Structure 1
Amino acid sequence: MARKRQKRKSKIGLAPGTLLFTGQQKMEKAEFSVLIYNEDQVQEITPKNLEEVIHLIDTSKDTLWINIDGIHDESIIENICSKILVHKLTMEDILSVGQRPKIDEYENYIHIVLKMLMLNKDDEVEDEQLSFILHKNILISFQEKTGDVFEGVRKRILEGKGFIRKRGSDYLLYALVDSVVDHYFLILETLGEKIETLESELLVNPVESVLAKLHHLRRETLDIRRSVYPLREVISKFEKIDESILHPDVRVFIRDLYDHTIQVIETIEVLRESASGLLDLYMNSVSNKMNEIMKVLTIMASIFIPLTFIAGVYGMNFQYMPELEYRYGYFVVWGVMILVFVGMLIYFKQKKWL
């Protein structure tokens, strides 16, 4: 986080459109992968350098999906975007990690920024910024590092399943965004399981370690909400994109995607309220535990108060106390104290305080 803040500070005062990567470099060098397909055939290519990618842009007439892993190299982003006349501000947004999800429509292309959420090996949520540029038959996706949620889409393209190869790059963009949104459900399901587990732990043993887990979970939920909440506006604008860029048949699928987005947002709100409720549950559990302790201490104090009174009375150093001369006075006092003790225990049991 400190490095990210430092990178953002370094942009202060620069002219709009200045290309500066603001994230953390996660790969040694950028990697390219390309899928070229039409209804009848598909070709998967792994270009070794940017020149091969630009050659494919110049020569391909079919649907062309270019995926770039690693956006830390400003020159690569500038060269490939300049090839399809992408605005400098769009290039700046691609390089500025931490963007709010959004969609920008230009004369000859659209630009979409999303947050891709994935689980690491410790079942913690990690986010990654995704950028898409749709230009005619070309779709370019920009990722911070290798690894995504698009394997299902790639498999459908390579195996020719469904009708993804019968449609153009606009449908491909929908399919990729839909894959990101579908993966949100997996993330939310995992968060729901974590909340249920924490709830059980809080009811049984509300210790500080559970409280630390709860704060971490609430922070995760808020981060996810911040990443996903603007998506509703993005999908709504996506459906209204000009027909010169987006085929009318694709709008039906985007409306369905909008419904999924609303469902994701509603689920996040439920989880957020549940996580907040767990904090109240923790406070109540701690309070109940403290009340039980205080009840035991109060009962013990109540039992010993009359015993202390009796002991105090016969501990006074007065010369003329009749009981002091009595042969069995000591045993009588002990008997009275034991009777008081037993009587109070019976009384507390009847009141169900013990």
Structure 2
Amino acid sequence: MTRFITKQKHTKHVIPGNPIFVGNQKEENTRIRLIGYDTNTIAEVELQTVSELSDYLNKYEKIWINIDGLHDVKLLGEVGKLFTIHTLVLEDIANTGQRPKVDIGEDYIFTSIKMMFLDEKIHRLEAEQISMYLTKNILITFQEKQGDIFEPIRERLRNKKGRVRNYNITYLKYCLLDLIVDNYNFLMETFGEKVEDLEDKILLEPNKDILAEINKNKIELNYFRKAIRPAREAISNFKDFKTDLISKKEQPFFNDLQDLIQRSYDLVENYKNMLSEQLTVYSTNVNNRLNDIMKILTIFSVVFIPITFIAGIYGTNFEYIPELTYRSGYFVMWGVILFTVVVMLGYFKYKKWF
């Protein structure tokens, strides 16, 4: 199954604006959760249908709706109808291969970004698409699967920590994006430790396992770069677009977000270059070791070629050869041959030539 490309065969010949789920279904059922809050109050509910949302829209000053599961296109259509979301935006939400982007309209901000995860068992990166649709007092987030990635933000809302309850709903969106970008930095630090640990291994014992680890890290880093590069471009748009949904008080936070993701991108580029250099060092070390091996084998050859030459001319056809009278001389000869082979193979193994 490809990770770098999400196949778009289901969207072929489909009229633009008709949402079609593209990707792998990660949830059996879709879940709808709502958090309504203001400075003094907060309420959390889990709903069964989109129509139930209407009962809560005018009850709270700020509303965060989270939808887990993107495979139910009918449900997405109902959400789009309720909140007058453009069908092209719904199409982007349903397409899990969508490139990270920011689309700012007159009364909404739509953001699509990748949340990255590291499978510790196999040291493999996985991505989940997160879409956010922001209006004046409502934030709708769409996730591919249920998870607790935003649970720290929910805890801050419940316990009234930080500014999130006092600021408007745009600040909540910033908090979610900040959590995703912070995770980028955490993953890069984790990868960085592994990449830097390879430095000494390459110099001390360059072998096929080290080469495989370098190549694996290069693949994972390229996969990470595929997500973070367009995300950096998208987040930079918050500085360029002018919208009433981002106030002067909140703009500095989005500017700081751009600095954070730039740091992640710089780390990706640095470790990408470091891995390329490690591959060069590995190749150089292997070539040097090969040259050393060839030098020693050449010495052996130089020593034994004259001996072989002399034996080839005169042979061993002398009249007095003591071993000819030995009853087991033939087997002794084979013993010496085998012993010589074993000793030489043992020496090569000791020197790690194979």
Aligned residues: 320
Q: AA paired with 2:86?
A: H
* Alpha-carbon distance in 2 for matches of 1:260, 1:77: 32
Q: AA paired with 1:270?
A: N
* Alpha-carbon distance in 2 for matches of 1:73, 1:103: 23
Is 1:227 aligned to 2:227, yes or no? yes
1:76 counterpart residue number: 75
Q: Secondary structure at the match of 2:8?
A: helix
State the TM-score, normalized to the length of structure 2. 0.83
Mark the runs of 5 or more structure 2 residues left unpaired by the alignment.
321-354
Q: Secondary structure at the match of 1:306?
A: helix
Is 1:278 aligned to 2:278, yes or no? yes
* Alpha-carbon distance in 2 for matches of 1:242, 1:77: 28
| Structure 1 residues 148 and 238, CA gap change in structure 2 (3 angstroms) | farther
1:91 counterpart residue number: 90
Conserved? CA contact 1:34–1:65, under 8 Å: yes
Greater shift, 33-42 or 110-119, is seen at 33-42
Q: How does 1:291-302 map to 2 (within 5 A)?
A: 291-302=291-302
Q: AA paired with 1:92?
A: E
How far does residue 286 in structure 1 lie from its aligned partner after superposition?
A: 2.1
State the TM-score, normalized to the length of structure 1. 0.83
1:113 counterpart residue number: 112
1:161 counterpart residue number: 161
Summarize deviations over 1:277-312 as a string: whole Å, max 9, x none: 222222223212222221221111122133334434
2:28 counterpart residue number: 28
1:132 counterpart residue number: 132
Q: AA paired with 1:298?
A: T
Percent identity between the two aligned chains: 38
Q: How does 1:1-354 map to 2 (within 5 A)?
A: 1=1, 8-57=8-57, 59-122=58-121, 123-315=123-315
| Structure 1 residues 4 and 163, CA gap change in structure 2 (3 angstroms) | closer
Conserved? CA contact 2:131–2:141, under 8 Å: yes
* Alpha-carbon distance in 1 for matches of 2:173, 2:241: 13
RMSD: 2.4
Conserved? CA contact 1:111–1:134, under 8 Å: yes
Q: AA paired with 1:285?
A: N
Q: AA paired with 2:90?
A: M
How far does residue 206 in structure 1 lie from its aligned partner after superposition?
A: 3.0
How far does residue 5 in structure 1 lie from its aligned partner after superposition?
A: 7.3
Mark the runs of 5 or more structure 1 residues left unpaired by the alignment.
318-323, 327-354
Greater shift, 234-243 or 30-39, is seen at 234-243
Conserved? CA contact 1:139–1:173, under 8 Å: yes
